Amino acid sequence: MPEPDRTRDDAPNSGRVQRASMLTQTLQVLVIDDAPDVRIYVRALLRKWGYEAVLASNGAEGLERMRQGGIRLVICDWMMDGMSGPEVCAAIRREDFGHYVYVMLLTGRTEDTDLVYGLDSGADDFVGKPFDAQVLRARLQVGVRILGLEETLAEQNRRLQEHHDELDRAYTQIQNDLAAAARIQRESLPVSDDSIAPLCAGWLFLPAAKISGDSFHFFPVSQEEVGFYHLDVSGHGIPAALLSTSLSRSLVPHTGVGTPAGDYLVPADFLTTLNHELCSPDGEVTNYATVVYGVLDKYTGEGRLASAGHPQPMLLRSDGSVESLTAGGLPVGMFEAAQYEAQRFRLYPGDRLITYSDGITDCFNADGQAFDIDHFQSLLVRHRHCTAAEMAEELRRSVTAWRGETEFEDDISVLVIERQAD
């Protein structure tokens, strides 16, 4: 028989148990014991301590009651007809109640092997028989604290999952927005070279991310001449892409803001005006861009271009020689007083004009070798008998193979304008 309850009724908080903050409702405790007097006595104690007692006379009855829900803590006798206490523990652990169930075994066994067996079966704690009511009460408090911690952890995990879901939704939205921005940006790139016939063109565009700071295009500026540009905005990501898209609109006739239409025929004046518009009134440089802008007569091959800090364009002659155009100046958007000068050039039949961003010459392979200007030029010379479009495709294959499986560190873009051989 259990020992009498020696808890003082007049002690502070007598008859109450300290609850974990998450256990806000009266805790249901299932008592499984085949001895009626023990069940009745434990029920009286539990009611006195503020618990709701649920009784079962054997393991099968106890498991069935647990399946009805609401049971968080179990007091189970070890020796019973039918299922033993350890067998009940094992059965509880096999069930999925949606929450943790704390199980205490009542037993007179004290051998280490018995206790190990009970713990291996799924018991959380033991109370020796005959038990002291004070000890049982203290053991119950331990169980309540553990259940409270488990509920606290579950709540924290729930909140973490909510935050994770929110972040996942935000990330998905960002990715969708970036994909939409990439589509919009690609719309500013060429889709055909029909507008500059009889010239033809090819191009390569390999952004380091979904959106890019690089842009290029070509377009008619008069009956005989076509304009072209190639730009590279400093930095990466959304700010660079936004400025690149904005500049792309300004670099095409009739879409610029405040740029006189006649400047499109005068590359140096055009870059001067563009630089003036980009420079911040307070003198602080946020983003700047390197730009090549030029005009080319599609019938005579006579051209002129100005450069604002951009890599030097190249003329690939039909005989395989390569010339660099040296026109230069500061990037636009840095200093309002920057000046630009135009350089004249000529494409003869079979010649090509190549503009590019520095992402291609700064592209490194797995061995740390750069796809430098010499490598770039030799590749152009090797494929000089290809069309402009075929040359761009060969460049794509070469630089992609050079980089390997690693993502590009910088945007890569190349524009090839060809005056076809007669």
CATH class name, domain 28-157: alpha beta
Q: Provide CB contacts within 8 A for 240, sequence distance 6+.
A: 211, 212, 213, 233, 234, 287
Give the global pTM.
Answer: 0.63
Task: Determine the 3-state secondary structure of 4 from DSSP.
Answer: coil
Q: Which of 268, 397, 375 is nearest to 322 (CA)?
A: 375
Residue 14 confidence (pLDDT): 39
Q: Report the pLDDT value the prediction gives residue 245, as an integer from 0 to 100.
A: 74
pLDDT at 348: 96
Tell me, rounded to whole angstroms, the distance of Cα 365 from its chain centroid.
25
Take residue 18 and report the two structure tokens written for it.
Answer: 């300290």
Quick check: do 28-157 and 188-418 share a fold? no
End-to-end CA distance of the chain: 114
Check: CB of residue 415 under 8 Å from CB of residue 203. yes
Residue 329, judged by CB atoms within 10 A of its CB (0-12, 13-18, 19+), counts as buried
In single-letter form, the type of residue at position 378 comes to S
pLDDT of residue 9: 42
- Minimal CA–CA distance to 257: which of 243, 273, 239, 281? 273
Residues of the chain falling short of pLDDT 50 = 1, 6-22, 24, 255-261, 283
Mind listing the pLDDT tens digit for each residue in 242-293?
777 777 777 777 544 334 445 678 999 999 988 888 886 654 556 789 999 9
Predicted local confidence at residue 314, as pLDDT = 97
Q: What angle do CA 396, 244, 376 make, to 5 degrees?
A: 30
Please tell me the predicted confidence (pLDDT) of residue 282.
Answer: 59
Contact 89, 103 (CB under 8 A): yes
Residue 293, pLDDT score: 95
- Token readout for 156 is 């924290």
Enclosing H/E stretch for 231: strand 225-233
List, in order, residues 6 or more apart from 248 with CB less than 8 Å away. 188, 215, 217, 231
| Angle between helical axes of 36-48 and 133-187 (0-180°, round to 10) | 70
Q: Return the CATH superfamily for domain 188-418.
A: PPM-type phosphatase domain (3.60.40.10)
pLDDT at position 208 is 81
At residue 19, the pLDDT reads 40
Tokens of 142: 């331990």
Domain ranges of the chain: 28-157, 188-418
State the CB neighbour count (10 A cutoff) for residue 301.
16
What are the pLDDT digits (tens) for 340-361? 999 999 999 999 999 999 999 9
